[in-house]
Amino acid sequence: MSEEIKKDNYSADNIQVLEGLEAVRKRPAMYIGDVGVKGLHHLVYEVVDNSIDEALAGHCDTIGVWINEDNSITVRDNGRGIPTAMHTKEKKSALEVVMTVLHAGGKFDKDTYKVSGGLHGVGVSCVNALSIHLRATVRRDGKVFEQEYSIGKPLYDVKVIGESNETGTEVTFKPDNTIFDSTEYNYDTLAARMRELAFLNKGITITLTDRRQIDENGNNYAVKFYSEGGLREFAQYLDRNREPLISDVIYFEGEREGIPVEVSLTYNTSYTENIQAYVNNINTHEGGTHLSGFRRGLTNTLKKYATDSGMLAKEKIEIDGDDFREGLTAVVSVKVAEPQFEGQTKTKLGNREVTAPVSQAVSEMLSAYLEEHPNEARIIVDKVILAARARHAARKAREMVQRKNVLTGSGLPGKLADCSEKDPAACEIYFVEGDSAGGTAKQGRDRHFQAIMPLRGKILNVEKAMQHKIFENEEIKNIYTALGVRIGTEEDSKALNLEKLRYHKIIIMCDADVDGSHIETLILTFFFRYMKELIENGYIYIATPPLYQVKKGNKSEYAWNEDMRDRLISELRGNGSESSVNVQRYKGLGEMNAEQLWETTMNPESRTLRQVTIENAAECDQIFSMLMGDDVPPRREFIERNAKYAKIDI
């Protein structure tokens, strides 16, 4: 009789498991964010997170990640190996439970401090549910255990396939192409995340190998990340294309009020502030209590030092929080047992108990540094004073812009051809390179919902300019006023009033040549530094005009790359008829007439827009500083490496 009951429970459990995994397949976005490129890469992070946890528990120091030839992924660690013994309640191997039961991962090892399970932290069973095939191999107790699954369902019971004196876990999964928009992994995206993880978790070796790509020596693309210095080295990496203001990185690592805190900061000669804040290895770009703690510690300590040293005595202007952060690069990382994530993208830490420990850590490390390094302290305070003066000049410039807007009634720039629709969600604005293409776009557009604003040539490089120069710049003032967003107020200079945004699609339309991509990058740099919320909310797009028109008689088609062009040529030639096919290379938008521009680039029915997203905030900062900075060799290397991605697949 007891046998009967157990059997019933067993099958009931099984049904629950299948229902759980079915829920993941029905609403994958709820579990992994989305089913686009981001979600696809999240699968890898989810699996790696488990190995990182094992490493943080002190049982593993090496993690390997492979992109296999078929775009499946292998993650292997040298930890203890997921337990394989029979789970008494579930009546199956613990390995099977971890792989098939939602959120089962952490239940086996309560003593271990888990830092994954943060933002998505959905567990490896989600990855399993979303994979057409997954193989788990565990080495422990002298044996090699294995189980395979398809869309989360075990293909057989856990079995022993060999012997080994190593220990560890290895997972190979192939994402289900009926779930994901694309199943092609991007090496650079994964490399950026693995680099970040290595900095955030010093002492762990993480390797990434791309079995799809072979370099000139016949080897697979491969990279090894290892950081001895942790966040100290992370800050140096972020600033590697900037000129240092002080040669040191100020660093703290320790526990305050039971919360592990690691902080590093340094100053460079630029005018941008770059603070990357992490909770449980997740980049919290909306900030939160740990970031407030950092700011409080920094401002209080520097203010006290500057006042006590007498350096502020002659200054008539008030110094405020922003002034302490010009040219600052910092990384903050805390580990929180039960993080509360808030905000629009759930990347803002809400736990109030985290502010004080971070603030204390920053105060301690910074006051010690300032006391011991009077020369550097003076250099930093001088820069702060300079920033305060520049801010006052910038405020005057801003007030001028705002006053001018009041005077001109509508306040809209003269160069803007607005649309008639008023609902921002339905409105688009095209920022177009040059007046001539702007004119064509005005003729070609649907004026009901499409606004056009031509931009004159190259806009200001905001990476190199001081704030007041930026707000005095005519093109930049026009961008602000056309979009309807306010230039930040004193107190919170970087927050945009998004509710006033007049268009929910902001489209950059440039020529498909070198100058065009330079202008595109300048505009994107501006959005990234001064209107990041627009990118984070998915409002920024890049238009993709065609490169070729292939014509025969009255038939004409467009091509966006060489392959497409050649295919069209042979299609239009047909069988046997002569080479009366005419190919036109578009160098600029201006070479298309209004109708062609509409048809290829602006008509929502037929155009391709590329949405701009931030996949990795720290990497993004580094790339912009490199692209827009003074150092040429790293820029050339980056452009050569990424040229192949500039082509668009349709």
Contact 157, 147 (CB under 8 A): yes
Question: Least distance in Å: CB of 464 to ligand 0RA?
Answer: 45
User: Which distant-in-sequence residues (6+ apart) come within 8 Å of 257 by Cβ?
Assistant: 353, 356, 357, 360
Token match 């370099």: residue?
Answer: 215
Among 10, 108, 113, 638, binds ligand 0RA (CB under 6 A): 108
- Closest of 75, 77, 66, 76 to residue 210, by C-alpha: 66
Q: Does 148 bind ligand 0RA (CB under 6 A)?
A: no
* Surface-to-core class of residue 308, CB atoms within 10 Å of its CB (0-12 exposed, 13-18 middle, 19+ buried): exposed
Size of the site for ligand 0RA (CB under 6 A): 11
Least Å distance between CB 90 and ligand 0RA?
A: 15
In this complex, which beta carbon is closest to ligand 0RA, that of residue 83 or of residue 413?
Answer: 83
The residue (of 111 and 372) whose beta carbon lies closer to ligand 0RA is 111
Q: Is 109 in the site for ligand 0RA (CB under 6 A)?
A: yes
* Phi and psi based region of residue 411 (left: phi greater than 0; alpha: psi -120 to 50; beta: remaining): left
Q: Which is nearer to ligand 0RA, 77 or 619 (CB)?
A: 77
CA distance linking residue 177 with residue 301, whole number of Å: 53
Active site residue 631: no
Q: Which CB sits closer to ligand 0RA, 94 or 569?
A: 94
The answer to the question of residue 77 lying near ligand 0RA (CB under 6 A) is yes
- Does 202 interact with ligand 0RA (rule: CB under 6 A)? no
Q: How far apart are CA 244 and CA 230, in angstroms?
A: 19
Instruction: Report in angstroms how near the CB of residue 301 gets to ligand 0RA at its nearest.
Output: 41
Q: Choosing from 176, 239, 326, 433, which is the catalytic residue? A: 433
Give the pair of three-digit tokens for residue 317.
């202007």
Contact 231, 331 (CB under 8 A): yes
Is residue 418 part of the annotated active site? The answer reads: no
CA distances from 618 to 373, 621, 625 (A): 28, 5, 11
Please identify which of the residues 54, 286, 511, 599 carries the catalytic annotation: 511
Nearer to ligand 0RA, 94 or 191 (CB): 94
Burial of 344 (0-12, 13-18, 19+ CB in 10 A): exposed
Instruction: Answer whether 63's CB lies under 8 Å from 205's CB.
Output: yes
In whole angstroms, what is the distance from residue 556 CA to residue 581 CA? 10
Q: Which is nearer to ligand 0RA, 53 or 472 (CB)?
A: 53
Select from 51, 131, 227, 600 the one that contacts ligand 0RA (CB under 6 A): 51
Tokens 């966040």, located at residue: 231
Residues 6+ apart with CB under 8 A from 73: 43, 44, 47, 65, 66, 67, 172, 173, 174, 185
- DSSP assignment letter at 593: -
Minimum separation from the CB atom of position 168 to ligand 0RA (A):
7
Cα gap 52→54, rounded to integer Å: 5
Contacting range for ligand 0RA; rule: CB under 6 A; set: 50-58, 267-275, 323-331, 492-500:
50-58
337 or 646: CB nearest ligand 0RA: 337
342 counts as binding ligand 0RA under rule CB under 6 A:
no
Q: Is 48 in the site for ligand 0RA (CB under 6 A)?
A: no
Task: Please report, as a single letter, which amino acid is at residue 631.
Answer: D
Q: For 271, which DSSP code? A: S
State the nearest-atom distance from the C-beta of 25 to ligand 0RA, in Å. Answer: 22
> Exactly one of 28, 64, 79, 546 binds ligand 0RA (CB under 6 A); which one?
79
Q: Which position among 61, 71, 80, 626 is part of the footprint of ligand 0RA (CB under 6 A)?
A: 80
Classify the C-alpha dihedral 382-383-386-388 as positive or negative. negative
From the list 169, 440, 481, 549, which residue makes contact with ligand 0RA (rule: CB under 6 A)?
169
Of 109, 253, 273, 515, the active-site residue reads 515
CB of 165 or CB of 579, closer to ligand 0RA: 165
Q: Is 273 in the site for ligand 0RA (CB under 6 A)?
A: no
**Least separation, in Å, of the C-beta of 357 and ligand 0RA?**
28
Candidate list 20, 46, 54, 252; residue touching ligand 0RA; CB under 6 A: 54
The rounded distance, in Å, linking the Cα atoms of 490 and 391 is 9
Instruction: Specify the stretch interacting with ligand 0RA by CB under 6 A; choose among 48-56, 264-272, 479-487, 529-537.
Output: 48-56
Q: Of the listed pieces 7-15, 46-54, 331-339, 372-380, which binds ligand 0RA according to CB under 6 A?
A: 46-54
- Of 57 and 356, nearer to ligand 0RA (C-beta) is 57
Q: CB-wise, 82 or 452, nearer to ligand 0RA?
A: 82
Using CA atoms, how far residue 362 sits from 305, 311, 319, 356, 383, in Å, is: 14, 22, 19, 10, 19
Active-site residue, selected from the candidate residues 513, 557, 591, 615: 513
Burial class (CB in 10 A: 0-12, 13-18, 19+), 162: exposed
Q: Does 50 bind ligand 0RA (CB under 6 A)?
A: yes
- The reply to whether 511 belongs to the active site is yes
Q: In the complex, what is the shortest distance from the CB of residue 86 to ligand 0RA, in angstroms, rounded to a whole number? A: 14
Give yes or no for residue 82 binding ligand 0RA (CB under 6 A).
yes
> Is 513 known to be catalytic?
yes
CA distance 321 to 362: 15
Residue 108 beta carbon to ligand 0RA: minimum distance, rounded to whole angstroms: 4
CB of 228 to ligand 0RA, least distance (A): 23
What are the structure tokens assigned to 54, written together? 């094992």
Min dist CB 34 to ligand 0RA, Å, is: 24
Which residue's CB is nearer to ligand 0RA, number 169 or number 241?
169
Give the up-direction half-sphere exposure of residue 525: CA atoms within 13 A in the CB hemisphere: 24
Residues 6+ apart with CB under 8 A from 128: 21, 99, 100, 134, 149, 152, 173
Amino acid at 300: N
The CB-of-112 to ligand 0RA minimum distance in angstroms stands at 7
- Residues annotated as catalytic are 433, 511, 513, 515
- Interface residues with ligand 0RA (CB under 6 A) are 50-51, 54, 77, 79-80, 82-83, 108-109, 169
